[in-house]
Amino acid sequence: MFYCMPQPHFTDGNLIILFGVNTESEASVTVPNYVEERIRVCVDLYGIVTTSKPDRSNTLVLVIVDTITSSAIKKMLINGGIREDLILFADSPKSVEQSFDYVLNFIKKRANPPYMYFVGSDWHKDTYDSAVLSKMKGYQIRFEGAPDYRPVDSVSKDKERNAPTKGMGYYKDKLKNKAVDMVINYIFPDDKNK
């Protein structure tokens, strides 16, 4: 899903947000496979951005990660071709929505916000849509999904932890959809005998 900014603003630079929080109960120093997939997508995305965008020199990678696996993730990003001075870490957010709160505070300091890319697992899309709709409206941000090959049980537990909250934007959209349905039902009634 792509959201546009208001016309008077323009982006300044790029920010790639890598959601690398390890939610497995047996957290260790090694990086789990599903986070490795996100890192691979992040490195590929970084390569695309730095070779194709005019503001490529102003690209940062913000890694949302737990403190246990941060050094291993940093090594993987550096081995993938991302310079160490372009990698920032945040360990306080534990969910996708908390990550967007952190990012919003991070970019509000800038005169012109960066173009943002969020890298998470494919199933993070629902939470991403909800968070962007309620918190990041007016910013240019794009979702990049990585495959998650874990068992369904593990993914469903993570989905419960990252369940989106329904903000004002969600209810506005629901109300708008309801109004459109009512108008369509009035114009095209289901009862063919009328």
Q: Mention every residue, 6+ apart, whose C-beta is less than 8 A from residue 144.
A: 41, 42, 45, 117, 118, 119, 120
Instruction: Give the relative orientation of helices 96-107 and 125-135 as an angle to the nearest 10 degrees.
Output: 40
- Report the pLDDT value the prediction gives residue 63, as an integer from 0 to 100: 92
Partnered with residue 89 across adjacent β-strands are 63
Backbone angles phi, psi at 52, to 5 degrees: -120, -15
Could you report the per-residue pLDDT of 171-185, keeping only the tens digit for each? Answer: 677 778 888 888 888
- Report the pLDDT value the prediction gives residue 8, as an integer from 0 to 100: 42
Cβ pair 100, 94 in contact under 8 A: no
- Report the pLDDT value the prediction gives residue 9, as an integer from 0 to 100: 55
- Report the pLDDT value the prediction gives residue 5, as an integer from 0 to 100: 47
Q: Which residues of the chain have pLDDT under 70?
A: 1-10, 23-28, 163-171, 191-194
- Report the pLDDT value the prediction gives residue 41, as an integer from 0 to 100: 94
Domain 14-166, what architecture?
A: 3-Layer(aba) Sandwich (3.40)
- Report the pLDDT value the prediction gives residue 7, as an integer from 0 to 100: 45
- Report the pLDDT value the prediction gives residue 167, as an integer from 0 to 100: 61
